[in-house]
Amino acid sequence: MKILLIGCGKMGGAMLRQWVRRDEHEFTVADPAATDLPEGVHHVTKTTDLPSGAFDVVVIAIKPQMIKDLLPAYTHALKPGGCFVSIAAGYSLDSLAEITGEAAIIRIMPNLAAMVGLGVSGLYANASCSAEQVEQVSAFIAETGRCVALANEDEIDRLTAVSGSGPGYVFEMMRSYVAAAMGLGFDEDTARALVFDTITGTVETARQSGASLEDLRNSVTSKNGTTQAGLDELRRDGQLHALFENTVQAAYRRAAELK
């Protein structure tokens, strides 16, 4: 496929670096500020440098507040029967269609782990998309990690609250965990290594095990032992469960407001 990437910021650039590793598609980046692009990627700085009807897919990777002003100048680059793919958070299909007309449009909600090929992305397509386009774009997005097909646009908001914003929650938990380890006397490098490797190993254990998370937790919790003492504090008065519930609900409400 010939793919045009409009904007190459943190998320667009992260996904591009995974896509080019497969060497299956031809990429052009339209971004006057883009630097240090992967080898083999074409770069244009002006919309007038883009030929009409040249691209199978146009990926919209600019900030949502810029779309209304910038996207109209790029719509000519999509070939007839092509597909727009938006990774702009909070910009609805209806709002995109006001600019693109009756084109095929797919909304994607990725997350930061796409930069290491372990991302989670939600995908929802409008009625103008063919099954073949959905299949092609799903495979394309899956090159950056897991791609989850969604049943409606509201599910994008819900996925945003869980996995789209999720790295921010996890980074904050890790920051607090590292600080706690340093409070026990470990230097920062050692504390980071202990926390990072504990989390990585625990996630992989859960991924490979057929057991429930509750059973796995219980398997490392001896009665009146150290893990029990820590868990009693972590779970005191149901605070942890309530904190996560409130966190994802707040993010979901904000995602819905932004549409």
Query: Do 6 and 88 reside in the same domain of the chain?
Result: yes
Domain that holds residue 223: 166-258
- Does a structural domain hold residue 161? no
Query: Do 126 and 200 reside in the same domain of the chain?
Result: no
The tally of CA atoms less than 13 A away on the side-chain side of residue 254 is 12
Query: Do 110 and 65 reside in the same domain of the chain?
Result: yes
* Residue 67: alpha-carbon gap to chain centroid: 19
Q: How many domains does the chain have?
A: 2
Give me the CATH number covering residue 183.
Answer: 1.10.3730.10
Domain boundary among 92, 126, 156: 156
Please give, one letter per residue, the 3-state secondary structure of the chain. CEEEEECCCHHHHHHHHHHHHHCCCEEEEECCCCCCCCCCCEEECCHHHCCCCCEEEEEECCCHHHHHHHHHHCHHHEEEEEEEEECCCCCCHHHHHHHHCCCEEEEEECCHHHHHCCEEEEEEECCCCCHHHHHHHHHHHHCCEEEEECCCHHHHHHHHHHHHCHHHHHHHHHHHHHHHHHHCCCCHHHHHHHHHHHHHHHHHHHHHCCCCHHHHHHHCCCCCCHHHHHHHHHCHHHHHHHHHHHHHHHHHHHHHHHC
Domain boundary among 156, 191, 214: 156
Given a cut of 50, the residues of the chain with pLDDT beneath it are: none
- Does a structural domain hold residue 37? yes
Query: Do 45 and 141 reside in the same domain of the chain?
Result: yes
Query: Do 30 and 151 reside in the same domain of the chain?
Result: yes
Tell me, what's the pLDDT at 24? Answer: 82
| Phi, psi torsion values for 45, nearest 5 degrees | -110, -10
Query: Do 78 and 31 reside in the same domain of the chain?
Result: yes
Tell me, what's the pLDDT at 44? Answer: 94
- Does a structural domain hold residue 195? yes
Query: Do 24 and 120 reside in the same domain of the chain?
Result: yes
Length of the chain equals 259
Tell me, what's the pLDDT at 259? Answer: 74
What percentage of the chain carries pLDDT values higher than 70? Answer: 100
Asked whether the whole model's pTM tops 0.75, one would answer yes
Domain boundary among 133, 156, 179: 156
Give me the CATH number covering residue 78.
Answer: 3.40.50.720
Q: Are 252 and 160 in contact (CB under 8 A)?
A: yes
Tell me, what's the pLDDT at 156? Answer: 95
Tell me, what's the pLDDT at 114? Answer: 94
